[in-house]
C-alpha cells in the first residue's frame, strides 16, 4: 500500500474510527501522553539524560510486574518504581553522567527481576507483552482519567521548575553561584521524567519509550533554537506521531507502537536533512 493510498484511507476512515469507544479512548490517552512526553522529553534531551530516562522505563517494568504479582494495577506499580528510581538517580547529582555502566547494570537487573516475577504468574504473559511494547487500543476510560491526572501533575511540576532547571542545564556553574540548587532541581526533574515514563509505557511500552520521549525532542532541537518554540514543536511532533500511529494501525491492522516508532524515526531523519544539506553547501569545492 503506497503512502498516498494510506493517506486517502486514513482520511476516509476518520469518522468511522471515532465511532468506536476504544478508538476514542486511544486518541484521548495518546493526546495526554504525547503532550507530556514532548515537553518533558525536550528538557531530558537538553540535559543529556536520555539514557537515564531509558533506564527508568526498564525499572518501571519491574514495578509493573511486581504489582501484578501482588494483585495491584500495573500502572501504579510502574509509577511507584519509576519515581523511586528517578529520585535515587537525581540524588546521585552530577555523578550520574559518569555512571552509565552502573545504570546499564541496574537496567538489566530490573528486566531480570521483571521476568522472574512473570515466572510465578505465567498467565500474565499477554500483559507482559503489552507492558514491553504497549497497547494503546486497550486503554479504558479509567486509565484515560488516570493518565490525565498524572499528566497534569507532571506538567504543573515542570512549569514550576522549568526556569531554574533551564538555567541549571545551560549554565550550571553560574546557576549554582546564583543560589540555584543543581541537586534539588535534578532530583525534581528526574521524578517528573519518571511520571512521564510511566505514562509513555501505557502507549508505546517500556522498550519503545524513546519513541515519544526522545525522538520528537531531538528533532525539535534540530529544527529550532528557541527553548519555548522547541518545547512547543516537540509536543506537536509527539502528538502528530501518536495520532498518526493510531490512525495507521486502524487502517493497516499493524501495531500502533510500530507506526509511532516509524513516524518518530522518519521525522528525526528528515529534521537532520536541512543541517546536512547546509554542511555540504558550506564545504569548499575541490
CATH number for position 79: 1.10.3470.10
C-beta separation of 41 from 178 below 8 A: no
- Classify residue 274: in a domain, yes or no: no
Least confident of 77-81, 95-99, 127-131, 211-215: 95-99
Mean pLDDT of 155-168: 93
Lowest-confidence region among 88-97, 105-114, 267-276: 88-97
Residue 283 lies in a domain: no
The reported pLDDT for the residue numbered 157 is 95
Instruction: Please report the pLDDT score of residue 253 as a whole number.
Output: 86
- For 169-225, give the DSSP string: HH-HHHHHHTT--HHHHHHHHHHHHHHHHHHHHHHH-GGGHHHHHTHHHHHHHHH--
Give me the mean pLDDT over the 151-165 stretch. 94
SS in 3 state form for 74-93?
HHHHHHHHHHHHHHHHHHCH
Residue 280 maps to a domain: no
- 278 in any annotated domain: no
- pLDDT per residue as tens digits for the range 24-70: 999 999 999 999 999 999 999 998 888 777 788 888 888 888 887 78
Report yes or no on 275 lying in a domain: no
pTM of the model: 0.83
Average pLDDT over residues 177-204: 87
285: in domain: no
- Structural domain that includes position 68: 3-269
- Residues whose CB falls within 8 Å of the CB of residue 7, separated by 6 or more in sequence, listed in order: none
How many domains are contained in the chain? 1
Q: What is the pLDDT of residue 202?
A: 82
| Position 236 in a domain | yes
Q: Is 96 domain-assigned?
A: yes
Average pLDDT of the residues of the chain: 82
User: What 3-state DSSP class applies to 96?
Assistant: helix
Cell triple for 119:
515466572
Nearest residue to 107 via CA among 159, 186, 51: 51
Amino acid at each position: 500500500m503506497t503512502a498516498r493510498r494510506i493517506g486517502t484511507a486514513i482520511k476516509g476512515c476518520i469518522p468511522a474510527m471515532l465511532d468506536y469507544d476504544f478508538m476514542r479512548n486511544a486518541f484521548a490517552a495518546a493526546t495526554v501522553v504525547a503532550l507530556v512526553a514532548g515537553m518533558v522529553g525536550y528538557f531530558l534531551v537538553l540535559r543529556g539524560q536520555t539514557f537515564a530516562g531509558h533506564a527508568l522505563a526498564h525499572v518501571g517494568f519491574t514495578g509493573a510486574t511486581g504489582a501484578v504479582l501482588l494483585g495491584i494495577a500495573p500502572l501504579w506499580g510502574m509509577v511507584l518504581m519509576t519515581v523511586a528510581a528517578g529520585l535515587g538517580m537525581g540524588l546521585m547529582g552530577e555523578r550520574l553522567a559518569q555512571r552509565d555502566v552502573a545504570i546499564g547494570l541496574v537496567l538489566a537487573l530490573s528486566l531480570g527481576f521483571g521476568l522472574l516475577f512473570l515466572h510465578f504468574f505465567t498467565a500474565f504473559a499477554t500483559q507482559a507483552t503489552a507492558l514491553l511494547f504497549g497497547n494503546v487500543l486497550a486503554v479504558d476510560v479509567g486509565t484515560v482519567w488516570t493518565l490525565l491526572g498524572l499528566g497534569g501533575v507532571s506538567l504543573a511540576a515542570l512549569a514550576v521548575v522549568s526556569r531554574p532547571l533551564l538555567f541549571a542545564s545551560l549554565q550550571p556553574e553560574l546557576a549554582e553561584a546564583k543560589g540555584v540548587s543543581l541537586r534539588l532541581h535534578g532530583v525534581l526533574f528526574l521524578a517528573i521524567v519518571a511520571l512521564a515514563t510511566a505514562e509513555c509505557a501505557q502507549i508505546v511500552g517500556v522498550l519503545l519509550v524513546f519513541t515519544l520521549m526522545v525522538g520528537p525532542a531531538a528533532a525539535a532541537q534540530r529544527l529550532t533554537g528557541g527553548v519555548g518554540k522547541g518545547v512547543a514543536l516537540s509536543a506537536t511532533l509527539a502528538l502528530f506521531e501518536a495520532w498518526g500511529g493510531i490512525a495507521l494501525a486502524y487502517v493497516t491492522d499493524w501495531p500502533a507502537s510500530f507506526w509511532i516508532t516509524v513516524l518518530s524515526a522518519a521525522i528525526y531523519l528528515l529534521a537532520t536533512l536541512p543541517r546536512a544539506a547546509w554542511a555540504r553547501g558550506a564545504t569548499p569545492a575541490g
